[in-house]
């Protein structure tokens, strides 16, 4: 006996020699005399969920052990049953009461589906493979691939014959069982963000199904061509699926498919295995890829020079100029990028929007190196066609020419850089290759920093020191009625010359001014770990920036959202504002986001003791 139920070892059943096996479980404790008591959280009432393993304990199939009477019903009573040989019924006793009529059968499920379906995965043309996970910003993306395969009729039917054939089934929906405490950021199928819904898993108390509708026919898929399926959850998450535990495999996730093959209902169900590596022969046609890098501007000075680029998404034409690669990379991931620079240039820093990126250089030619921008790990839905991502490269000294491409291609003094973008799609690797074009700097009015007129406030909660000698500083992000806030400085919008409305801004990042000697170990937001970085501020303080929160106004709950900063050691004062304003609750902060009109918003304030009445937090 264990946490997940009863495990029976050393059965050694060979399906080629034994077609059926009676398994009897005897319990001595009272209260376990019926199947519903023995397996109270099974997938079907009155049944028990059973997982069967092969000898290596790695191959498994799962199904519900349904009641015996469903497969072998009792024969009907013979005609005239219950009548005495004298053909006269016995007299009724005075105390006899006729039994109540049987309850009405439950109504059929919608759209004609029933629970009586073929759930054998070997009878289905579909399978789901697990491809691993990666950090994307501050969140975690879990990658799967749906594969259409040829059916192998030699597979043994472990659970006995079932009516119907699901070899040509369509695909109505696809579901994966994940931990129920995880927050889903997005679900993608074949490069498209899908609507999803969740249901209780039924067998495990800490699991839920995440389903998407597909409504695809078998003919809509190409055989053996995998289709990417990505579930992204918020924060840094080490495990997505409870199946990792009870199947003892980091690649195992329980999945279910639903569809029909003519009149046969099909519900193949199984657990994922590790998928194979992608093809290393990559597709390098730029016209088959959705990303481009453009040069924007440079600022040259003696201490350091900066070069700004835009990474943007474009429509894919699909034109194959060299007529060589049949594969497409029209919704490829963007895992990392390379820019060819002069060998003597010393790169100091690379930033992707607000995030300081990891980078290194590798040799390219006798006079140039590849600057490798690592760990981008973005998907096509992470990009907004109306707002390109800024890539900023800072180099040491006064550098007038960063890349040799302008000299090689005779660009007439204009900045031009050769680049390669690396990613995957399905089982293909992608490496589109091109040169930058010049893109104009968009007209920006700056960043509106007025706190009134914005929908968020930060409040301070009681903090303390843990037994592990860690200090916890607790904050709450609350939503307020932005239209009711007082405009302290008159009319901040007029400073920009346009009407900048930050009343519905999203939350991209949050920064705090903290003392320079404070060492932060972790930052928790809405219950999950988020990545952070330091940025210089004054000689005695620094910015602590919590990165890639990525919440819109409607995605945040109406109540307060908790934010906790974990610092090393016993720290009595994290923020210099506490001394400046004479209150432990005081901490300077700034919230960065973008309005619905793509205006930049960065309201700044000072925390106080959290109080819904004081801050005017909206209660819904």
**DSSP per-residue letters across 70-131:** HHSPPPPPPTTTT--TTS-PPPPPTT--PPPPPPPPPPPPGGG--S--B--GGGSSEEEEEE
CA 394 to chain centre: 32
pLDDT at 488: 44
Contact 493, 486 (CB under 8 A): no
Q: pTM of the full predicted structure? A: 0.77
CA pair distance 158, 209, nearest whole angstrom: 25
pLDDT at 442: 76
Radius of gyration of the chain from Cα atoms? 31
For 396-419, what is the mean pLDDT?
93
| Confidence check: pLDDT of 213 > 50 | yes
pLDDT at 559: 86
Q: Which residue has the tokens 């770990």?
A: 529
Which SS3 state, helix, strand or coil, does residue 58 take? Answer: coil
CA pair distance 334, 424, nearest whole angstrom: 8
Torsion of CA 488, 489, 494, 499, to 10 degrees: -20
Instruction: Give DSSP secondary structure letters for 35-56.
Output: HHHHSTT-SSTT-EEEEEE-TT
pLDDT at 12: 77
Cα dist. 192→200, 336, 382 in Å? 25, 21, 11
User: Which range in 82-96, 152-166, 343-357, 457-471 is most confidently predicted, on average pLDDT?
Assistant: 343-357
**Residues 268-290, buried b or exposed e (16+ Cβ, 10 A)?**
bbbbbbebeebeeebbbbbbbbb
Residue bearing the bigger pLDDT, 546 or 500: 546
CA pair distance 527, 545, nearest whole angstrom: 17
Give every CB contact of residue 82 below 8 A, 6+ residues apart in sequence.
none
User: Which range in 45-54, 112-121, 474-483 is most confidently predicted, on average pLDDT?
Assistant: 474-483
pLDDT at 14: 76
pLDDT at 71: 47
Burial of 209 from C-beta contacts in 10 A (0-12 / 13-18 / 19+) = buried
The closest alpha carbon to 538, from 521, 571, 515, 519, belongs to: 515
The CATH class of 281-438 is mainly beta
Long-range contact list for 409-417, CB < 8 A, 24+ apart? 409/435, 414/438, 415/295, 415/298, 415/307, 416/295, 417/293, 417/295, 417/309, 417/339, 417/340, 417/341
pLDDT digits (tens, 9 = 90+) for 262-299: 888 899 989 999 988 888 888 888 988 999 999 999 99
| Confidence check: pLDDT of 595 > 70 | yes
pLDDT at 45: 55
pLDDT at 326: 59
| Confidence check: pLDDT of 98 > 80 | no
pLDDT at 403: 96
| Confidence check: pLDDT of 245 > 50 | yes
Instruction: Enumerate the domain spans of the chain.
Output: 115-279, 281-438, 447-615
Q: What is the CATH number of domain 115-279?
A: 2.60.40
Q: E strands of 528-601, at which residues?
A: 528-530, 532-536, 541-546, 561-568, 588-594, 600-601
Contact 178, 240 (CB under 8 A): yes
Regarding the domain delimited by 447-615, which CATH topology (the fold level of the hierarchy) does it fall under?
Immunoglobulin-like (2.60.40)
For 561-590, what is the mean pLDDT?
93
For 58-81, what is the mean pLDDT?
56
Long-range contact list for 152-158, CB < 8 A, 24+ apart? 152/122, 155/122, 156/15, 156/16, 157/15, 157/120, 157/122, 158/15, 158/52, 158/61
Q: Which residue has the tokens 């679900």?
A: 187
The closest alpha carbon to 472, from 397, 543, 550, 563, belongs to: 563
Which SS3 state, helix, strand or coil, does residue 516 take? Answer: coil
CA pair distance 75, 40, nearest whole angstrom: 29
Residue bearing the bigger pLDDT, 432 or 318: 432
pLDDT digits (tens, 9 = 90+) for 465-497: 888 899 999 999 998 887 765 544 444 444 444
Question: Would the CA dihedral through 109, 113, 117, 122 be positive or negative?
Answer: negative
pLDDT at 68: 55
| Confidence check: pLDDT of 92 > 80 | no
| Confidence check: pLDDT of 58 > 60 | no
Cα dist. 389→314, 382, 611 in Å? 13, 10, 37
pLDDT at 484: 60
pLDDT at 115: 46
Question: Which residues partner with 563 through β-bridges?
Answer: 475, 525
Question: Which residues partner with 472 through β-bridges?
Answer: 464, 566
Dihedrals phi, psi of 69, to nearest 5 degrees: -65, -20
| Confidence check: pLDDT of 389 > 70 | yes
Q: Which residue has the tokens 């300077």?
A: 588
Contact 607, 460 (CB under 8 A): yes
pLDDT at 324: 59
pLDDT digits (tens, 9 = 90+) for 341-375: 999 999 999 999 999 999 999 999 999 999 999 99
For 146-165, what is the mean pLDDT?
65
Contact 151, 169 (CB under 8 A): no
pLDDT band at 433 (very low <50, low <70, confident <90, very high): very high
The closest alpha carbon to 15, from 155, 151, 152, belongs to: 155
CA pair distance 114, 591, nearest whole angstrom: 51
Mean pLDDT of the chain: 83
CA pair distance 24, 68, nearest whole angstrom: 13
Tokens, residue 156 = 């043994």
pLDDT at 431: 94
Which SS3 state, helix, strand or coil, does residue 364 take? Answer: coil
Residue bearing the bigger pLDDT, 55 or 299: 299
Does the fold of domain 447-615 match that of domain 115-279?
yes
pLDDT at 153: 58
pLDDT digits (tens, 9 = 90+) for 609-618: 876 555 555 4
């Amino acid at each position: 006996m264990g946490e997940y139920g009863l495990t029976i070892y050393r059965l050694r059943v060979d399906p080629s020699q034994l077609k059926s096996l009676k398994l009897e479980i005897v319990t001595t404790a009272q209260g376990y005399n019926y199947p519903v008591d023995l397996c109270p959280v099974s997938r079907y009432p009155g049944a028990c969920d059973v997982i069967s393993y092969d000898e290596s304990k790695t191959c498994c199939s799962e199904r519900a052990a349904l009641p015996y009477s469903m497969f072998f019903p009792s024969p009907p009573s013979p005609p005239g049953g219950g009548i005495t040989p004298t053909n006269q019924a016995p007299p009724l006793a005075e105390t006899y009461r006729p039994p109540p009529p049987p309850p009405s059968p439950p109504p059929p499920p919608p759209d004609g589906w029933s629970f009586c379906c073929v759930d054998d995965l070997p009878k289905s043309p579909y399978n789901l493979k697990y491809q691993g996970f990666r950090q994307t910003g501050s969140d975690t993306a879990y990658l799967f691939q749906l594969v259409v395969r040829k059916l192998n009729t030699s597979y043994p039917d472990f659970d006995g014959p079932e009516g119907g054939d699901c070899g040509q089934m369509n695909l109505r929906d696809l579901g994966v069982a994940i931990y129920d405490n995880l927050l889903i950021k997005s679900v993608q199928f074949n490069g498209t963000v899908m609507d999803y819904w969740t249901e209780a898993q039924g067998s495990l108390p800490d699991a839920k199904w995440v389903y998407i509708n597909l409504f695809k026919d078998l003919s809509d898929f190409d055989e053996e061509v995998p289709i990417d399926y990505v579930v992204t959850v918020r924060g840094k998450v080490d495990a997505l699926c409870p199946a990792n535990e009870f199947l003892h495999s980091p690649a195992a996730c329980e999945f279910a498919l639903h569809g029909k093959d003519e009149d046969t209902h099909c519900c193949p169900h199984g657990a994922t295995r590790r998928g194979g590596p992608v093809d290393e022969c990559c597709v390098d046609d730029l016209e088959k890829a959705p990303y481009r890098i453009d040069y924007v501007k440079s600022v040259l000075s003696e201490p350091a020079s900066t070069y700004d680029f835009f990474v943007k998404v474009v429509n894919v034409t699909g034109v194959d100029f060299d007529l060589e690669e049949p594969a497409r990379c029209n919704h490829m991931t963007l895992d990392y990028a390379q820019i060819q620079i002069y060998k003597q240039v010393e790169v100091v820093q690379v930033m992707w929007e607000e995030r300081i990126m990891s980078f290194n250089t590798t040799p390219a030619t006798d006079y140039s190196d590849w600057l490798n921008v690592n760990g981008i790990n973005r998907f096509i839905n992470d990009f907004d066609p109306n707002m390109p991502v800024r890539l900023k490269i800072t180099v040491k000294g006064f550098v007038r020419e960063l890349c040799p491409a302008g000299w090689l291609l005779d660009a007439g003094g204009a900045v031009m850089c050769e680049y390669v973008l690396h990613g995957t799609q399905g089982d293909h690797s992608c490496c589109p290759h091109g040169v930058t074009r010049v893109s104009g700097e968009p007209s920006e009015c700056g960043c509106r920093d007025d706190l009134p007129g914005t929908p968020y406030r930060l409040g301070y909660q009681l903090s303390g020191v843990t037994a592990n000698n860690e200090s916890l500083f607790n904050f709450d992000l609350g939503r307020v009625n932005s239209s009711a806030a007082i405009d302290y400085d008159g009319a901040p919008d007029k400073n920009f010359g346009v009407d900048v409305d930050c009343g519905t801004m999203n939350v991209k990042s949050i920064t705090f001014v903290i003392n320079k000697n404070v060492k932060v170990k972790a930052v928790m937001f809405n219950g999950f770990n988020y990545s952070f970085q330091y940025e210089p501020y004054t000689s005695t303080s620094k910015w602590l920036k919590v990165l890639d929160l990525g919440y819109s106004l409607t995605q945040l709950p109406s109540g307060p959202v908790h934010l906790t900063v974990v610092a090393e050691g016993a720290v009595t004062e994290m923020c210099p504002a506490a001394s400046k304003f004479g209150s432990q609750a005081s901490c300077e902060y700034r919230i960065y986001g973008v309005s619905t009109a793509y205006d930049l918003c960065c309201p700044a304030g000072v925390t106080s003791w959290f109080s819904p009445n004081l801050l005017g937090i909206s209660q819904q």
